[in-house]
């Protein structure tokens, strides 16, 4: 169940981003440099697939009300790490 929800959400997100880019006339370009490919892989796998799947699993186990408290902690953790 989590995998299918994750797949549909990413499909909808990709469709919306593609539509906005098309309307704004932004070209789709791929830079084969190692830095670009590395950042793309990092954002796609750990940043999106693993992160969103983990969050959906928490929502499934705890419920949306209790899982929403995680979003309160995101800025606190980010600020603590950056300090």
With beta carbons less than 8 A apart as the criterion, state whether 70 and 58 touch: yes
Task: Name the phi and psi angles at 80, rounded to 5.
Answer: -65, -45
**Chain segment 8-65, per-residue pLDDT in tens:** 999 999 999 999 999 999 998 899 999 999 999 999 999 888 988 998 899 889 998 8
Q: DSSP assignment, residue 83?
A: -
Instruction: Round to whole Å and give the CA distance between 4 and 30.
Output: 28
Tell me the whole-structure pTM to 2 decimals. 0.66
pLDDT, mean of residues 57-82 = 88
With beta carbons less than 8 A apart as the criterion, state whether 27 and 15 touch: no
């Amino acid at each position: 169940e989590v995998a299918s929800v994750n797949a549909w959400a990413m499909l909808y997100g990709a469709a919306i981003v593609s539509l906005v880019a098309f309307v704004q006339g932004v070209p789709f370009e791929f830079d084969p440099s190692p830095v670009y490919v590395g950042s793309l892989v990092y954002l796609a796998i750990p940043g999106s697939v693993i992160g969103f799947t983990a969050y959906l699993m928490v929502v499934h186990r705890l419920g949306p009300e209790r899982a929403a408290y995680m979003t309160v902690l995101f800025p606190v953790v980010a600020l603590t790490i950056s300090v």
